[in-house]
Amino acid sequence: MSLTDEQTMTLEAYADTIIPGEKRGPDDRAIAGVATGGGAVAAGALDILQTEAGGLAAVLGGLADMLDKHVLAYAEEHGIELDPTAPPFVALSYQDRVGVVSMLCRPGHPEKQMWVNLAMFSNMAFDTGAHLSTARAFETGHPGLLHLGFRRPDSDGLWRFPEYSYRRPLASPHPATTPSGSPA
């Protein structure tokens, strides 16, 4: 199911609240711009959310619309006047976006699971780029893997760490350790 521009902006703003990044240009309203470097959106949050494998693609538009309804209630409660030229969640300051996400993902909120799912996939876009093969993610300079400092594989695409150990005893074993190395 294709998303409207407003729905896309709303979901981008949600993902950007989870792992914020820098604006893509002066007219970028979805990204709040509270961090430097690419965030969840640049890492491919919308791509991963729309994969068939992820399982959320069919409900994304509905989630965006529900989010905006929650924002209207939140804005009224907090006396916030929303700019009508942007979708309600996008119109919020970053601080209020945090307020809405915190409210929806709070234990006990009846819709918590779906908002946590959206947050998990947004985070996963950033920390794995799981809509891409990891080799391809590195080729495209995936901002999340680079941010984590995830090491690149060897030339055959596999990881090996020949240097991996301090190679010396660093603590005394428990005195009751059995001969096979287990607790007594």
Stretch that binds other proteins, among 4-12, 65-73, 82-90, 132-140 (CB under 8 A): 132-140
CB of 78 to other proteins, least distance (A): 17
Query: Does the protein bind other proteins through residue 70 (CB under 8 A)?
Result: no
CB of 159 to other proteins, least distance (A): 4
Q: Do the Cβ atoms of 143 and 22 come closer than 8 Å?
A: no
Residue closest to 17 by CA, chosen among 119, 106, 105: 119
Longest CA span, the chain: 72
- The Cα 117–Cα 124 span in angstroms is 10
Query: Does the protein bind other proteins through residue 162 (CB under 8 A)?
Result: yes
Q: Do the Cβ atoms of 101 and 119 come closer than 8 Å?
A: yes
Q: Which is nearer to other proteins, 111 or 159 (CB)?
A: 159
Query: Does the protein bind other proteins through residue 151 (CB under 8 A)?
Result: yes
Three-state SS for 94?
A: helix
Q: Which is nearer to other proteins, 64 or 115 (CB)?
A: 115
Question: Residue-wise over 50-66: b if at least 16 C-beta within 10 A, else e?
Answer: beeebebbeebbebbeb
Stretch that binds other proteins, among 5-13, 22-30, 85-93, 97-105 (CB under 8 A): 97-105
Residues that bind other proteins (CB under 8 A): 17-20, 34-35, 39, 48, 51-56, 98, 101-102, 105-107, 113, 116-117, 119-120, 123-124, 126-135, 137, 147-151, 153, 157-175, 177-178, 180-184
